[in-house]
Chains A and B, each alone.
Chain A
Amino acid sequence: MRWVNIRPNRRSSILLGAAPLLLVLVCYLFASAARHAANPSDKVLPTPAAMVSAMHSLLVDTDPLSGHLIFWADTMASLERLGLALGICTLSALLVGMVLGVLPAARATLGGLVTTIAVIPPIALLPVLFIVFGLGETAKVALIVVGITPFMIRDLADHVASLPQEQLIKAQTLGASSWQLALRVALPQALPRLIAGLRLSLGPAWVYLISAEAIASDIGLGYRIFLVRRYLSMDIIIPYVAWISLLAILMDMALAQLSRRGFAWAHQAAR
């Protein structure tokens, strides 16, 4: 049998997918054990036991200074910033993207502005945001918003503008006004794309969140890993990074599920 025709079934796909992950884990354990054999106080590749004991105090012990359970307080603070920013991004992308996509005149007027904003590197704007909004929560949320909204707007506007012309003509011959056309023809077909755009933006959103937290913050997942870096605390950094990755995967899966549940028609053609 040719190699190109070997298609794993569902069960073996899962096994095959898990194998490299397990391999990485085993490699780490061996490397860690080897380093600790040479130097029992090694900090670069901590053993799982060291990670558990380091994380234990952050997970269950109240921090005497702030009165928080540090790990959970960090998680909540980061998720709050991220959620707020993603909410603002999604709503504004939907609104502006729809207007740009549906109305050629709006596209002619504002398309250039959106493109110009989109090419500005967001991190370069971070000082401006800190100056304008201060060092509080607003600047961090604003960085994420500035970072991903232009991309989402352009993606959505392009998608809406490239709906087949035949559909728009057909809707008009069925008596649809501009508003009805936007509401009943463009909007429902834009929503699955909006979710897809949001999924693609999750990666950059985490980058901007952690950057903002690293530079000026007193709580948050990004703040914590940059703080403990000073003490070479890989036993905290590694679990935190794993936790961030897990959160990102869960958010991505939730959005994918939402798209499949809510917009089954959009996934039928691909099947």
Chain B
Amino acid sequence: MSDLLTFDNVWLEYGEKIVLERVDLTITERSFVSIVGPSGAGKSSFLRLVLGQEVPTRGRILLDDQPLTPECGPDRGVVFQRYSVFPHLTALRNVMFSRECAKAPFTARLFGAARRAAAEEAEAMLVEVGLGDALHLYPAQLSGGMQQRLAIAQALMARPRVLLLDEPFGALDPGIRQDMHRLILRLWQEHQLTVLMVTHDISEAFGLGTRVLTFDKRRIDPHAPHRFGATAVYDLLLSRKTLPSVPDPQQKVLRLTESVITNTEDSQ
């Protein structure tokens, strides 16, 4: 497994305020990285850096050993908590979107055989995420969980190098969330994905991830709290040999005690 993403002494500053400091990380291909941490600790900023929405003020980010372009592209897929499907397109058209963009630069629409091929591919993807019966429904007609399934299918159609999930299951009911956990783990295995997932739910982070990053500030200056940025203070590699069928609280504790715990503070 090779290194997919490299963060080399990355800083993110807004004027005086330092959001992230000294982020040094390598993310290997095929890993499932969960990112946890208190609110305001730069989790979302970290994800925006990977997305290319923000440019690091210092340091470099490499994707496949190439400097990351500071603009989102089809090499990075994303699923947000909300609003990540197009309300004016049916499920099928939503999933076909990336094919249509890639193959029809001017009209962004496909016709004839190319369209049928894209539609078949999109249908297969929708069946895979369990939306085989909802091909021609609009997002407003789908439940929250179904919308997230659609968003995932849509992102996977573009075959991204890395899939970014920004609290993707945060707004879902607990039961639905378990189904979604099973789905994302299955897709992660079958499509050999590299996943970066920001979450508030610690058990979700440990249940799904092969590696858990905790973002927080190392030091706090009480007189100028904005002058120290957050970084990955804990970097836990979970030694998971097999895919857990369902994240189960009992197993999680076991896995945590078995796991190799590396504190990045010590390694520096």
Q: Is the CB of B73 within 8 A of A173?
A: yes
Of B95-103, B203-211, B218-226, B236-244, the segment with at least 4 beta carbons within 8 Å of chain A is B95-103
Q: Is the CB of B140 within 8 A of A180?
A: no
Among B134-158, those with CB < 8 Å from A are 138, 140-141, 151, 154-155, 157-158
B213, CB-defined interface residue at 8 Å: no
A13, CB-defined interface residue at 8 Å: no
Task: Find chain B residues with CB under 8 A from A185 CB.
Answer: 86
A243, CB-defined interface residue at 8 Å: no
Complex CA–CA separation, A263 to B87 (angstroms) = 11
Closest to A191 in B: B88
Can you list, as one digit per residue, whether each of B186-205 has a CB less than 8 Å from chain A (1) or not (0)?
00000000000000000000
Q: Is the CB of A265 within 8 A of B87?
A: yes
Once A179-B106, A266-B88 are accepted as A-B contacts, the answer to whether A173 and B155 lie under 8 Å apart by CB is yes
Instruction: Name the distance in Å between B25's Cβ and chain A's nearest Cβ.
Output: 21
Number of A-B contacts (CB under 8 A): 89
Q: Is the CB of A169 within 8 A of B87?
A: no
Task: Find chain A residues with CB under 8 A from B107 CB.
Answer: 183
Q: Is the CB of A175 within 8 A of B73?
A: yes
Q: Is the CB of A174 within 8 A of B97?
A: yes
B71, CB-defined interface residue at 8 Å: yes
B234, CB-defined interface residue at 8 Å: no
Q: Is the CB of B97 within 8 A of A177?
A: no
Among B83, B87, B89, the residue within 8 A (CB) of A269 is B87
Among B14-73, those with CB < 8 Å from A are 51, 53, 71-73
Complex CA–CA separation, A170 to B153 (angstroms) = 12
Task: Find chain A residues with CB under 8 A from B170 CB.
Answer: none
Once A166-B84, A169-B53 are accepted as A-B contacts, the answer to whether A174 and B74 lie under 8 Å apart by CB is yes
Instruction: Name the distance in Å between B182's Cβ and chain A's nearest Cβ.
Output: 24
Complex CA–CA separation, A183 to B108 (angstroms) = 8
Among A169, A184, A263, A269, the residue within 8 A (CB) of B51 is A169
A171, CB-defined interface residue at 8 Å: yes
A112, CB-defined interface residue at 8 Å: no
Complex CA–CA separation, A166 to B88 (angstroms) = 15
Q: Is the CB of B82 within 8 A of A166?
A: yes
Q: Is the CB of B83 within 8 A of A166?
A: yes
Q: Is the CB of A184 within 8 A of B83?
A: no
Complex CA–CA separation, A171 to B76 (angstroms) = 11
Q: Is the CB of A170 within 8 A of B105?
A: no
Among B51, B53, B97, B140, the residue within 8 A (CB) of A171 is B97
Instruction: Name the distance in Å between B93's Cβ and chain A's nearest Cβ.
Output: 9
Task: Find chain A residues with CB under 8 A from B72 CB.
Answer: 169, 172-173
A268, CB-defined interface residue at 8 Å: yes
Instruction: Name the distance in Å between A67's Cβ and chain B's nearest Cβ.
Output: 50
Among A166, A184, A188, the residue within 8 A (CB) of B80 is A166
Q: Is the CB of A184 within 8 A of B78?
A: no
Complex CA–CA separation, A137 to B109 (angstroms) = 41
Task: Find chain A residues with CB under 8 A from B88 CB.
Answer: 188-189, 263, 265-266
Query: Can you sample 27 A-B contacts with CB below 8 Å?
Result: A166-B82, A169-B51, A169-B72, A169-B80, A170-B85, A171-B86, A172-B71, A172-B72, A173-B74, A173-B155, A173-B160, A174-B77, A174-B98, A174-B155, A174-B157, A174-B158, A175-B74, A180-B101, A183-B108, A184-B100, A184-B101, A189-B87, A189-B88, A264-B138, A265-B138, A269-B87, A269-B140
Q: Which residues of A contact B (CB under 8 A)?
A: 164, 166-167, 169-177, 179-180, 183-185, 188-189, 263-266, 268-269
The 3 closest A-B pairs by CB, nearest first: A164-B83, A175-B74, A174-B98
